[in-house]
């Protein structure tokens, strides 16, 4: 869950020509995958940036399995005849 609220109310004596970024409270809920963690969360220039890192354990990563061939094999057989 990501939530934010304004700590101090803006100065009512101040007048603004335009407010580009809303200053209201917010809340956003979402689910992360099993192997995802938050590495950095920072608020810079009015924008929240959250960096996520996916750390898949070695046993869950895809692996390559070498396929050996037999010496002297005749090749595949299709319908009882040797393939050309």
- Confidence label for 81 from pLDDT (cuts 50, 70 and 90): low
Q: Phi first, then psi: what are they for 3, rounded to 5°?
A: -140, 150
- pLDDT (tens digit per residue) in 15-34: 877 777 677 788 889 899 98
**Two structure tokens written together for 65:** 């399995």
Q: What angle do CA 16, 48, 9 make, to 5 degrees?
A: 40
- Distance from chain centroid for Cα 10: 36
What global pTM score does this model have?
0.50
Cα end-to-end distance, the chain, whole Å: 63
**Two structure tokens written together for 64:** 């390559």
Domain layout of the chain by residue ranges: 2-59
Check residue 42 and give its pLDDT.
Answer: 92
């Amino acid at each position: 869950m990501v939530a934010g609220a304004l700590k101090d109310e803006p100065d009512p004596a101040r007048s603004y020509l335009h407010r580009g970024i809303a200053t209201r409270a917010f809340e956003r809920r979402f689910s992360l995958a099993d192997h995802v963690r938050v590495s950095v969360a920072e608020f810079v220039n009015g924008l929240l940036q959250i960096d996520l890192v996916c750390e898949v354990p070695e046993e869950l990563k895809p692996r390559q399995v070498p396929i050996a061939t037999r010496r002297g094999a005749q090749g595949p057989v299709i319908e009882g005849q040797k393939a050309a």
